Amino acid sequence: MRNPFQYGTVVRGEAFCNRREEQKTLRRAIENGDKLFVYSERRLGKTSLVRTVLDKLPKKKFLRVYVDLWPTDSEASFVEQTGRAMAGSLGTTANKILEAVKTFFGSLAPSISLDDSGKPTLTVRLGEKENAAQQIEEVLSVAKRVADRGDQTVVVVFDECQRILEYGSDLVERKLRSTIQHHDNVCYIFLGSRKHLVQKMFLDKSRPLYRAAGHYPLEPIESKHWVPFIRTRFLDAKKGVEDEQIQSLCERTEGHPFYTQHLCHALWEQCEPGKKVTDAMVDAALDTLLAREGHAYTTLWESFAMNQRRFLTGLATTPRPVQPFSSAFVRDHGLRSASNAQRAADALMDRDVIDRDHGSFLIVDRFFKLWIQRAVAP
């Protein structure tokens, strides 16, 4: 039997746990033509959630454009990737795509070629640099033109939108702002990891996209949703597990979807069919995972300055919410002053080891947090 717990890829269908409220919110946003900016840490389930919502939209009534900005690094690749996604959602055959391009792509002149598997792909060749602004506008207008036909609701998703901050100029941000505000019949959803960067994009007054979209922070999945999801998958394989054991597992992973699935995957392997999960098995599953990362974690740990290690130790061992600049925290963890703690936090943020969380900080890699707890345990 195949392990039912999946991690590392986008999960859909059977492998997708709950998120009912979130699905409802996003569905309404789409129907209303809202502009929404959904952000969370990496691997918290943004892509899985949005793709699940898109999958459930009736095809006839909704045009779904999903643009993955991860591979992009410039204005030109933004136009190319967006153009390709727009064309791909308008048709799957070369003829259909050509027809759609003629109707909706304005002055953009993409070329279409067949890839190795015979699938048509579209390439938007950018001409001179001075045309970049116009081409960005043009590619963004495609969604509007389709929506103006009036027979389909259009939703455009930009995934990994923090990439835009690395294009070297704020042209795409400015063009997005000036176009999407006139697209009242198109829903735009921006997904971003690296919370502090994307927050800057939408919540910093000096940035072009300031308040251009409502913001929707995605949170971990609550234990009450994980318990039935995990229990069923163990029982389906004739493996017994107590709700309390699942709860304690979720406490260790803080309900973070990636780490919860990863630990469940390992635990499911530990337990033979016909047997019951024991607490020792949960520990053993975690041991296996931490041992696998041991070398990488040790190297990472050794790369931190002393105060950064102290700061992380405090963060890993203090019950949340942690107040890392309080005199108690500073004293208990040998940081000597709040400004030392602040400097450590800044450096760790820059390296994406920690992230902001409800006025405090958290350690992004939940297994690293558990590793630190063990490493410093008396």
Ligand X SMILES: Nc1ncnc2c1ncn2[C@@H]1O[C@H](COP(=O)(O)OP(=O)(O)O)[C@@H](O)[C@H]1O
Tell which residue, 311, 294, 319, 270, has the closest CA to residue 374. Answer: 294
165 or 338, CB closer to ligand X? 165
Three-state SS for 26-93 is HHHHHHCCCEEEEECCCCCCHHHHHHHHHHHCCCCCEEEEEEECCCCCCHHHHHHHHHHHHHHHHCCC
69 or 90, CB closer to ligand X? 69
Report the C-alpha gap between 64 and 173 in whole angstroms: 22
Report the C-alpha gap between 278 and 267 in whole angstroms: 10
Among residues 25, 27, 33, 42, the one that binds ligand X under rule CB under 6 A: 42
Among residues 38, 44, 263, 370, the one that binds ligand X under rule CB under 6 A: 44
Of ligand X, Mg ion, none, which one does residue 141 interact with (CB within 5 to 8 Å by kind)? none
46 or 366, CB closer to ligand X? 46
Q: Is position 16 an interface residue for ligand X (rule: CB under 6 A)?
A: yes
Report the C-alpha gap between 111 and 69 in whole angstroms: 20
| Residues 85 and 67 sit within 8 Å (Cβ to Cβ) | yes
Of Mg ion, ligand X, none, which one does residue 7 interact with (CB within 5 to 8 Å by kind)? ligand X
Site string for ligand X, 255-274 (x = CB under 6 A): --xx--x-------------
Class of residue 199 by CB neighbours under 10 A (exposed 0-12, middle 13-18, buried 19+): middle
Among residues 35, 43, 144, 163, the one that binds ligand X under rule CB under 6 A: 43
40 or 153, CB closer to ligand X? 40
Mapped onto helix, strand or coil, the DSSP state of residue 322 is coil
Q: What is the closest distance, in whole angstroms, from the C-beta atom of residue 55 to ligand X in the complex?
A: 13
Q: What is the closest distance, in whole angstroms, from the C-beta atom of residue 352 to Mg ion in the complex?
A: 15
Q: What is the closest distance, in whole angstroms, from the C-beta atom of residue 226 to ligand X in the complex?
A: 8
Hey, which residues between 238 and 257 contact ligand X (CB under 6 A)?
A: 257
Residue found by looking up tokens 């795409």 in the block: 172
Q: What is the closest distance, in whole angstroms, from the C-beta atom of residue 160 to Mg ion in the complex?
A: 6
Q: What is the closest distance, in whole angstroms, from the C-beta atom of residue 66 to Mg ion in the complex?
A: 11
What six digits make up the tokens of 154? 């259009």
Q: Shortest Cβ contact with ligand X: which residue?
A: 45
What six digits make up the tokens of 137? 């506008």
Among residues 8, 127, 294, 321, the one that binds ligand X under rule CB under 6 A: 8
Among residues 1, 2, 9, 359, the one that binds ligand X under rule CB under 6 A: 9
Hey, which residues between 31 and 60 contact Mg ion (CB under 5 A)?
A: 47
Q: What is the closest distance, in whole angstroms, from the C-beta atom of residue 156 to Mg ion in the complex?
A: 16
Q: What is the closest distance, in whole angstroms, from the C-beta atom of residue 251 to Mg ion in the complex?
A: 25
Of Mg ion, ligand X, none, which one does residue 48 interact with (CB within 5 to 8 Å by kind)? ligand X
Hey, which residues between 165 and 194 contact ligand X (CB under 6 A)?
A: 193
Partners of 240 in beta bridges = 276
Of ligand X, Mg ion, none, which one does residue 258 interact with (CB within 5 to 8 Å by kind)? ligand X
16 or 311, CB closer to ligand X? 16
Stretch that binds ligand X, among 7-15, 66-74, 307-315, 338-346 (CB under 6 A): 7-15
> How many helices (H) does the chain have, and how many strands (E)?
15, 9
Report the C-alpha gap between 371 and 292 in whole angstroms: 11
Task: Give whole-number Cα distances, 247 to 107, 130, 274, 282, in Å.
Answer: 57, 57, 22, 12
CA dihedral 5, 6, 11, 16 (to 10 degrees): 10
Mapped onto helix, strand or coil, the DSSP state of residue 362 is strand
What six digits make up the tokens of 176? 């997005």
Stretch that binds ligand X, among 14-22, 196-204, 267-275, 364-372 (CB under 6 A): 14-22
**Amino acid letter, residue 132:** A
Residues forming contacts to Mg ion in the complex (CB under 5 A) are 47
Residues forming contacts to ligand X in the complex (CB under 6 A) are 6-11, 16-17, 19, 40, 42-48, 193, 257-258, 261
